[in-house]
């Protein structure tokens, strides 16, 4: 609009504002632009929900790293967050707390979702680098026997140690049963060794050594009963 027409419009339609300065109109413009609209309301609500979902994933990851029960999120973490919001920040906590789902099933689902694909990534990476592997048997409080496989490797100039697999031994930890259970990973381990040129195989149990050795006859074995280490 031309300045002359703009001034004429101001005199005819807004005579009470003819004497206002430029700063007044700039303030009106800012208020109009910041005026809440339906789109902005939905966008802000969606952003808050996304922040709560992100917090739920991050807290679930912390619970998994600390090896704590999944119920700790609902029983301890949320009450602690609520107390901090009320006591320190003096803000109502109900709206924030209900946007962070941390129930037992939710935490379990978050951890399962984040952990999916880790095994395949680890297996693929091990086929491109040198690494050492450690096998051992262990038992749970309910007397269930486990066969554990750990790997240690270098990635991004840092040393990592990861749990490659944990499989239940159906009966006990004797050589025969370990031998039967290790059949599931024999072919996979051979592929890893040949492609990655693995040079270290650590085993802290003589029954596991006796069970694994038949699958890797092409390697040279040395077992020390004092330190319980077998090196290829």
Domain limits, the chain: 42-115, 118-230
Which has more pLDDT, 231 or 54? 54
Query: Could you tell me the maximum CA-CA distance found in the chain, to the nearest angstrom?
Result: 102
Q: Are 165 and 96 in contact (CB under 8 A)?
A: no
Q: Which residue is it, tokens 């930890």?
A: 173
What are the backbone dihedrals phi and psi of residue 64, each rounded to the nearest 5 degrees, phi first?
Answer: -65, -40
pLDDT band at 59 (very low <50, low <70, confident <90, very high): very high
Closest-CA residue to 92 (of 103, 81, 101, 102): 81
CA distance linking residue 139 with residue 136, whole number of Å: 10
CA distance linking residue 77 with residue 67, whole number of Å: 15
What are the backbone dihedrals phi and psi of residue 146, each rounded to the nearest 5 degrees, phi first?
Answer: -125, 145
CA distance linking residue 202 with residue 228, whole number of Å: 8
- Pairing between β-strand 131-139 and β-strand 200-203 as defined by DSSP bridges: parallel
pLDDT band at 210 (very low <50, low <70, confident <90, very high): low
Looking at mean pLDDT, say which of 102-111, 170-179, 189-198, 215-224 comes out highest: 102-111
Q: Which residue is it, tokens 């004092």?
A: 226
Asked whether the predicted pLDDT for residue 191 surpasses 70, the reply is no
Which has more pLDDT, 178 or 90? 90
pLDDT of the residue at 196: 46
CA distance linking residue 108 with residue 75, whole number of Å: 15
CA distance linking residue 153 with residue 125, whole number of Å: 10
Asked whether the predicted pLDDT for residue 53 surpasses 70, the reply is yes
Looking at mean pLDDT, say which of 55-59, 130-134, 138-142 comes out highest: 55-59
Asked whether the predicted pLDDT for residue 128 surpasses 60, the reply is yes
CA distances in angstroms from 227 to 133, 199, 204, 223, listed in the order given: 16, 18, 8, 9
The pLDDT tens digits of the residues spanning 68-118 come to 899 999 999 999 999 998 898 888 888 888 888 899 999 999 888 888 777
Tell me which of 46-55, 142-151, 211-220 is least confident. Answer: 211-220
Q: Are 200 and 232 in contact (CB under 8 A)?
A: yes
Q: Are 100 and 55 in contact (CB under 8 A)?
A: yes
Asked whether the predicted pLDDT for residue 19 surpasses 90, the reply is no
Would you call 223 helix, strand, or coil by DSSP?
A: strand
pLDDT band at 200 (very low <50, low <70, confident <90, very high): low
pTM of this prediction?
0.51
Q: Are 220 and 164 in contact (CB under 8 A)?
A: no
pLDDT of the residue at 230: 40
pLDDT of the residue at 121: 82
pLDDT band at 227 (very low <50, low <70, confident <90, very high): very low
Would you call 172 helix, strand, or coil by DSSP?
A: coil
pLDDT of the residue at 118: 79
Tell me the average pLDDT of the chain: 72
């Amino acid at each position: 609009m031309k300045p002359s027409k703009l001034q004429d419009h101001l005199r005819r339609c807004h005579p009470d504002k003819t004497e206002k300065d430029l700063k007044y109109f700039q303030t009106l413009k800012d208020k109009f632009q910041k005026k809440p609209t339906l789109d902005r309301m939905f966008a802000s609500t969606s952003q808050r929900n996304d922040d709560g979902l992100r917090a739920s994933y991050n807290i679930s990851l912390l619970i998994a790293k600390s090896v704590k029960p999944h119920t700790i999120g609902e029983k301890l973490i949320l009450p602690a967050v609520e107390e901090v919001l009320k006591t320190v920040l003096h803000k109502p906590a109900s709206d924030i707390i209900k946007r962070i789902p941390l129930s037992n099933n939710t935490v379990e689902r978050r951890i399962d979702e984040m952990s999916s694909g880790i095994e395949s990534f680890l297996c693929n990476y091990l086929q491109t680098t040198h690494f050492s592997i450690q096998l051992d048997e262990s038992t749970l409080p309910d007397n269930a026997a486990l066969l554990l496989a750990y790997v240690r490797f270098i990635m991004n100039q840092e040393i990592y140690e990861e749990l490659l697999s944990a499989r239940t031994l159906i009966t006990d930890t004797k050589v025969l049963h370990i031998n039967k259970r290790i059949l599931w990973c024999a072919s996979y381990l051979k592929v890893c060794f040949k492609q990655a040129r693995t040079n270290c195989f650590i085993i802290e149990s003589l029954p596991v050594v006796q069970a694994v050795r038949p699958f890797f006859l092409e390697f040279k074995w040395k077992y020390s009963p004092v330190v319980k280490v077998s090196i290829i």
